[in-house]
């Protein structure tokens, strides 16, 4: 005799006389008696001829009271599979299939058991060996997990069977599609799909059934749902198949992306308009500016050294104004395209970057640079960081009011960022004017200072588009100001492409 035991079932191989079970001695009887699975033997009329101790515990009946009762009284066919077949004596056909049965005990409590019935035969005699495993605790845990994971999830969830019928939905899902609780249950999932897409959705669902792998939908293309009121809603969907005793099921994760689509559309429109404006300005202004510059050159050539000195000074001032306007156009284009260029990521040695920035500034006797860098090298986009520091250092030098100029660049690691300070000992920026220094075409310098008013706006745009932030620190009555930049030390998928 061979006995097999696990947490779900035990079975005695066909061809062994079942009567032996009731008279087992020694090790074999001890094994069956000590099993954590109930073992019930019934004859071909459905009458119990043997039950082990675990069976008595499960049915909450004395063992002597179990023997002689009909198996159908113990295991009424309130099975999880409604098509469960029975023999003429009311017991489940011994197919070896696993079924879940809910028992009503005397005290009124529910008990869930997992049942497996196997046919045993020995010549003309036929018996059924039924193994019964108490799964109440497991189902309670499953139910608690469902409440936590399914009902309380912050996103929409659908349970769909293999035929596309909605078995359950949570509150966020009902809210997305405008239905009341339970209203979609028992309906086909195509009810949530616009009519023009239903045929294609049915084909896709059928294809998914042949290769049911977890996957997401909506990436790279729109997925549209249909609300109860007929309005359509953009969604992202994830599909996770899993097996149950009732067959294959699919859990669909649904996220309403309406607000995100609106924000992204407005951002795309704003960027497109800005670039269109910048390109129009560049095209419409560069040609007349070049014409003015050419006219200035012609006048200087025509008059030569005989031109009056005041006229020469005015022509030089005109040339400076033209160059300033051309610089403004270039800055405007840079601002419009600040977050559109693909960044190259590499290890950034901030000391090397700052050294290059200092080298790019024209040397003068009174210009002094200093560094106090304590940050470590990090991965990131080097080119936009160089532009940011170049603009800040150039701004500090350009708007200084003395011949002796001191600029200090400091850095330190601060959480996920490297904090970079660009400090100068210039006149500072009045607190009343600080709220507009990062706006387009804003300059606080006098008329004798060159500047387009776009440098700090471009700097802020570059910093923001790479996941950082910038702050101005300057106080009335004190000289100097500090621009502090928080630049990310780690590459993030939501900020960097």
Shared domain check, 168 and 131: no
Instruction: Assign 14 a pLDDT band (cuts: 50, 70, 90).
Output: very low
pLDDT above 60 for 8: no
Task: Evaluate whether residue 148 is within a structural domain.
Answer: no
Among 231, 256, 281, the domain-final residue is: 256
pLDDT above 90 for 270: no
Q: Which is more confidently placed, 405 or 128?
A: 405
Distance separating alpha carbons of residues 204 and 212, to the nearest angstrom? 11
pLDDT above 50 for 4: no
Task: Evaluate whether residue 228 is within a structural domain.
Answer: yes
In angstroms, what CA-CA distances link 128 with 48, 54, 93, 114? 9, 18, 9, 16
Task: Identify the domain containing residue 222 by its residue range.
Answer: 153-256
- Asked whether 348 and 490 are in contact (CB, 8 A), the reply is no
Q: Which is more confidently placed, 322 or 105?
A: 322
Shared domain check, 400 and 284: no
Shared domain check, 342 and 482: yes
Distance separating alpha carbons of residues 290 and 162, to the nearest angstrom? 71
Q: Which is more confidently placed, 276 or 113?
A: 113
Distance separating alpha carbons of residues 156 and 173, to the nearest angstrom? 4
In angstroms, what CA-CA distances link 182 with 161, 244, 278, 366? 16, 21, 54, 79
Pair of tokens at residue 390: 């170049």
Shared domain check, 170 and 30: no
Q: Of 8-17, 63-72, 173-182, 342-351, which one has max mean pLDDT?
A: 173-182
In angstroms, what CA-CA distances link 69 with 50, 75, 101, 102, 112? 10, 11, 18, 19, 20
Is 0.85 topped by the overall pTM?
Answer: no
Q: At what angle do helices 309-336 and 455-465 cross, to 10 degrees?
A: 10
Task: Evaluate whether residue 496 is within a structural domain.
Answer: no
Residue recorded with tokens 């306007």: 325
Residues 6 or more apart whose Cβ sits within 8 Å of residue 56: 62, 63, 66
Task: Evaluate whether residue 161 is within a structural domain.
Answer: yes
Shared domain check, 236 and 188: yes
Shared domain check, 133 and 87: yes
- Phi, psi for 483 (deg, rounded to 5): -105, 120
Average confidence score pLDDT of the chain: 80
* CATH number where 58 lies: 3.30.450.20
pLDDT above 60 for 494: yes
Average pLDDT on 220-229 reads 80
Q: Each residue of 19-72: pLDDT tens digit?
A: 545 455 566 677 778 888 998 888 888 888 888 889 888 888 888 888 888 888
Distance separating alpha carbons of residues 438 and 433, to the nearest angstrom? 10
Q: Please give the full DSSP string across 179-202, using - where no structure is assigned.
A: --TTSSTTSBGGGGS-HHHHHHHH
Shared domain check, 296 and 177: no
Shared domain check, 198 and 78: no
**What is the pLDDT at residue 89?**
43
Shared domain check, 372 and 252: no
CB atoms within 10 A of CB 226: 20
pLDDT above 90 for 276: no
Task: Evaluate whether residue 104 is within a structural domain.
Answer: yes
Do strands 345-348 and 481-488 pair parallel, antiparallel, or not at all (unpaired)? unpaired
Average pLDDT on 272-293 reads 75
Pick from 300, 395, 381: nearest CA to 342: 381
Q: Each residue of 159-214: pLDDT tens digit?
A: 898 889 998 899 999 999 999 999 999 999 999 999 999 988 888 888 887 777 76
Q: Which is more confidently placed, 426 or 92?
A: 426
Among 240, 256, 272, the domain-final residue is: 256
Judged on CB neighbours under 10 Å (0-12, 13-18, 19+), 427 is middle
**What is the pLDDT at residue 180?**
94
Shared domain check, 301 and 376: no
Distance separating alpha carbons of residues 199 and 190, to the nearest angstrom? 9
**What is the pLDDT at residue 371?**
96
Phi-psi region of 238 (alpha: psi -120 to 50; beta: other; left: phi over 0): beta
Distance separating alpha carbons of residues 169 and 160, to the nearest angstrom? 9
Domain count, the chain: 4
Shared domain check, 347 and 304: no
Residue recorded with tokens 């960044």: 343
Distance separating alpha carbons of residues 431 and 475, to the nearest angstrom? 6
Pair of tokens at residue 339: 């977050």
> Can you name the residues that pair with 157 across neighbouring β-strands?
253
Least trusted range by pLDDT, from 5-14, 335-344, 401-410 = 5-14
Q: Which is more confidently placed, 483 or 458?
A: 483
Among 74, 105, 138, the domain-final residue is: 138
Instruction: Assign 408 a pLDDT band (cuts: 50, 70, 90).
Output: very high
Shared domain check, 241 and 161: yes
Pair of tokens at residue 316: 């030089």
Average pLDDT on 357-361 reads 91
The alpha carbon of residue 184 and the mean position of all alpha carbons in its chain are separated, in whole angstroms, by 27
pLDDT above 90 for 457: no
Instruction: Assign 92 a pLDDT band (cuts: 50, 70, 90).
Output: very low
Task: Evaluate whether residue 493 is within a structural domain.
Answer: no
Instruction: Assign 445 a pLDDT band (cuts: 50, 70, 90).
Output: low
pLDDT above 90 for 481: yes
* CATH number where 416 lies: 3.30.565.10
Average pLDDT on 367-396 reads 92
Pick from 258, 263, 177, 264: nearest CA to 225: 177
- Asked whether 484 and 473 are in contact (CB, 8 A), the reply is yes
Distance separating alpha carbons of residues 330 and 97, to the nearest angstrom? 77
């Amino acid at each position: 005799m061979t006995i097999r035991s696990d947490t779900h079932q035990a079975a005695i191989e066909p061809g062994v006389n079942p009567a032996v079970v009731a008279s087992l001695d020694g090790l074999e009887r001890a094994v069956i008696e000590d099993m954590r699975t109930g073992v019930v033997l019934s004859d071909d009329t459905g009458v119990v001829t043997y039950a082990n101790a675990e069976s008595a515990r499960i049915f909450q009946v004395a063992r002597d009271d179990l023997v002689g009762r009909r198996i159908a009284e113990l295991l009424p066919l309130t099975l999880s599979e409604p098509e469960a077949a029975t023999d003429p004596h009311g017991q489940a056909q011994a197919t070896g299939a696993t079924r879940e049965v809910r028992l009503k005990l005397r005290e009124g409590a529910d008990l869930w058991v997992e049942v497996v019935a196997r046919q045993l035969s020995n010549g003309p005699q036929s018996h059924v060996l039924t193994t019964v495993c108490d799964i109440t605790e497991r189902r309670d845990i499953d139910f608690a997990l469902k409440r936590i994971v399914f009902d309380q999830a912050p996103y929409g969830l659908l349970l769909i069977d293999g035929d596309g019928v909605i078995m359950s939905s949570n509150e966020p899902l009902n809210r997305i599609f405008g239905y009341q609780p339970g209203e979609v249950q028992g309906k086909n999932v195509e009810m949530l799909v616009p009519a023009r897409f239903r045929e294609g959705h049915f084909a896709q669902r059928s294809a998914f059934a042949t290769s049911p792998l977890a996957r997401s939908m909506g990436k790279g293309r729109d997925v549209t749902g249909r609300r109860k009121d007929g309005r359509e809603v953009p969604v992202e969907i994830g599909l996770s198949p899993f097996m149950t005793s009732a067959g294959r099921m699919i859990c669909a994760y649904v996220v309403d992306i309406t607000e995100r689509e609106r924000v992204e559309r407005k951002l795309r429109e704003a960027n497109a308009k800005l670039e269109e404006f910048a390109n129009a300005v560049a095209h419409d202004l560069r040609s007349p500016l070049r014409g003015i510059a050419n006219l200035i050159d012609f006048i200087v050539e025509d008059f030569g050294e005989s031109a009056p000195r005041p006229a020469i000074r005015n022509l030089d001032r005109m040339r400076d104004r033209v160059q300033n306007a051309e610089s403004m156009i270039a800055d405007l284009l840079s601002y419009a395209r600040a977050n559109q260029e693909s960044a190259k990521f590499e290890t950034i040695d901030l000391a090397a970057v700052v050294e290059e920035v200092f080298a790019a500034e024209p040397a003068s006797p009174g210009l002094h640079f200093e560094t106090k860098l304590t940050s470590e090298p990090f991965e990131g986009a080097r080119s936009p960081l160089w532009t940011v520091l170049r603009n800040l250092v150039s701004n500090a030098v350009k708007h200084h009011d003395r011949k002796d100029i001191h600029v200090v660049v400091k850095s330190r690691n601060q959480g996920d960022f490297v904090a970079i300070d660009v400090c100068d000992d210039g006149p500072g920026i009045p607190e009343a004017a600080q709220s507009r220094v990062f706006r387009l075409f804003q300059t606080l310098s006098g008329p004798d200072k060159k500047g387009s008013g776009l440098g700090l706006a471009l700097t802020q745009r570059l910093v923001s588009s790479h996941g950082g932030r910038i702050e101005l620190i300057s106080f009335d009555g004190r000289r100097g100001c500090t621009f502090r930049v928080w630049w990310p030390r780690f590459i993030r998928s939501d900020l960097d492409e």
